[in-house]
Amino acid sequence: MDRRKSLKAIAIGTFGTAALLDACKSEADKKVAANSSLAAGFTLDRQPEELVQYDKVISTTFFTPQELATITVLGDIIIPKDDVSGSASEAKVPAFIEFIVKDMPEHQTPMRGGLMWIDRHAFKKNGKNFKDCSKEQQIAIVDEIAYPNKAAKEVAQGVAFFSLMRNLTATGFYTSQIGVADVGYKGNQPNQWNGVPDEVMKQYGVAYTEKENKECVKYSEE
């Protein structure tokens, strides 16, 4: 049995059990907190094991600066600034992708290999890495791989990479503050649910039944 921590034996009942155990817990927590560079930055409740894992994940860097620059260019082609909201890089999507491939290692090879594929492809066409191509050259390459149903078979690997890149970019963007506002999610606010707004029910030609109106909870509008 592992006896690393030769904590002094605690006789339960001699002292207040709960207080003693709490003391142990906070000691363990303190140890974790001291080791955890970003533990204090969490607004979410985290267990000690989670903080240890988090520190492990962020203690390494996966993408090279060159790779991250390519991800940034691609991300902003996929989600550019428009009339409604900002771009992927404004929403810090590249940093999200750096984190998530470390948290979900299954994305690492498809991403790294895909970035190699697109650079190789760009070099063959234009004699330059993708990120160093002109905007027109970059868009021409993206047009080859952005449409799975009409893309040439020869670039199928590029299509697979671009689809993954589009998925990660969209997920990173629409779960950011900018993206949530863009898509118009109105929830996560305390409220009193009184049913679907009347004008929406009318728009779809539906109505609550008499039974529903009678038996469902009603809150006074404030």
Site for another protein in 109-138 (CB under 8 A): none
Binding of residue 103 to another protein (CB under 8 A): yes
Whole-angstrom distance, CA of residue 183 vs CA of residue 91? 14
Alpha helices by DSSP H, listed for 127-197, are 135-145, 156-174, 177-183
Task: Please pick, from the candidates 30, 31, 147, 152, the single residue that binds another protein as defined by CB under 8 A.
Answer: 147
Binding of residue 188 to another protein (CB under 8 A): yes
Residues in 62-91 at the binding interface with another protein, rule: CB under 8 A: 77-80, 82, 84-85
List of residues 6+ apart from 32 with CB closer than 8 A: 39, 48, 51, 52
List of residues 6+ apart from 110 with CB closer than 8 A: 160, 161, 164
Task: Please pick, from the candidates 59, 60, 189, 220, the single residue that binds another protein as defined by CB under 8 A.
Answer: 189
Taking CB under 8 A as the binding criterion, the range among 64-72, 107-115, 121-129, 147-155 that sits at the site for another protein is: 147-155
CB-based contact 146:77 (threshold 8 Å): no
Count of C-beta atoms within a 10 Å radius of residue 117: 19
Nearest-approach distance from CB 209 to another protein, in angstroms: 9
Binding of residue 59 to another protein (CB under 8 A): no
Question: What x-and-dash track marks residues 166-185 binding another protein by CB under 8 A?
Answer: xx--xxxxxxxx-xx-xxxx
If DSSP codes are grouped into helix, strand and coil, which group holds residue 12?
Answer: strand
Nearer to another protein, 19 or 127 (CB): 19
